Amino acid sequence: MHRNVHNLIQIEKEIQSNIVNLNESTKSPKIIAVSKTHSMTSILPLIHYGHLDYGENKVQEALDKWQDTKKKFNNLNLHMIGRLQSNKVKQAISLFDFIHSVDSFKLAEKIANEQIKQNKKIKIFIQVNIGEETQKNGIEISNLEDFYKRCINDLDLDVVGLMCLPPIDQDVSPYFSQMKNVHIKLRLKELSMGMSNDYLKAIKFNSSYLRIGSKIFGQRNYPN
C-alpha cells in the first residue's frame, strides 16, 4: 500500500473513532486532500484508492496538474482553496468544481459573469475572516449575512457554505464555534474548516469539509 493511501486511511479511522464519541447528529466530513506542490505521482495512488476530493491553492499549478487527469477520472472534485485573483477566474471556472475563497463582492461578480459565459455553475464557499485579522482576506461576521444575500439574490451564485482560516497559535474552538453558529443561522449545508493540525477539533463543530495536506502527503515540495 502506498504511504499516502495509508496516511489517508489512518486519518479516516481517527475521524470515525472521534465521531462515535460525539452526538448522533455529527456526520462524517469529507476530506479534501490538499495536493498543492505535490506531483501527480503522489496523487494518483489516492485516486486509484477511490478518493474523490482534492484541493489546490494556485490556478496555474492546478491547470498544469489536473486538466488531463480530470478528463480521465471525471468523477473527481477539485477545490480551489487558495486566494483567487480576479484575472484567474476564467481559468478557475473551467477547471474547478468548488471555490472555497470568495472574499469580496468584486470577485463574486466576476465569478457570476464568467459562469454565464461558460454555462457552468460551481459550488461556492464564502471565506469568513473569523478572527478579524487585518492581514487575512474574508468577509467579516458583521457583514456576512448581507454579503450572502447579495451573492444569492443579485448574482444567483450557488453558495453552499462558509470557509475560515482561524488565527494561528490560538485555541481554534471559539472560532469554530462561532462559524458553526453563523452557518446554522444562514441555513447553509456545508462548512469548510479544519486542517492537518486541527481537523479533530473541527469535526466537533460540524465541519463538513476538512482540508488536509501534510498529514497525507508529507511536507510540501516547494521549488528551489
Per-residue model confidence as pLDDT tens digits over 29-76: 999 999 998 999 999 999 999 999 999 999 999 999 999 999 999 999
- Please give the Cα distance from 30 to 141 (Å, whole number): 25
DSSP string computed for 144-195: HHHHHHHHHHTT--EEEEEEE-PPTTS-SHHHHHHHHHHHHHTT-SEEE---
Of 29, 75, 71, the residue nearest 51 (C-alpha)? 75
pLDDT at 168: 87
The confidence score (pLDDT) of residue 112 equals 97
At 55, give phi and psi (nearest 5°).
Answer: -120, 140
User: Given a cut of 80, is residue 187 above it in pLDDT?
Assistant: yes
- Mean pLDDT of the region 178-193: 96
Instruction: Give the model confidence (pLDDT) of 104-159 as tens digits.
Output: 999 999 999 999 999 999 999 999 999 888 888 899 999 999 999 999 999 999 99
Q: Are 54 and 35 in contact (CB under 8 A)?
A: yes
- Which residues are CB-neighbours of 216 under 8 A, at least 6 positions away? 4, 7, 8, 11, 33, 34, 46
Q: Which residue has the cell 485573483?
A: 85
The stretch 19-23 carries a mean pLDDT of: 75
The pTM of this model reads 0.94
Q: Give the cell for residue 88.
A: 484567474
Domains of the chain: 3-20+30-217 (3.20.20.10)
Residue 157: which residues within 8 A CB-CB, separation 6 or more? Answer: 102, 108, 111, 112, 115, 124, 151
Is residue 224 predicted with pLDDT exceeding 50?
A: no
Going by C-alpha positions, the residue among 177, 203, 163 that lies closest to residue 30 is: 203
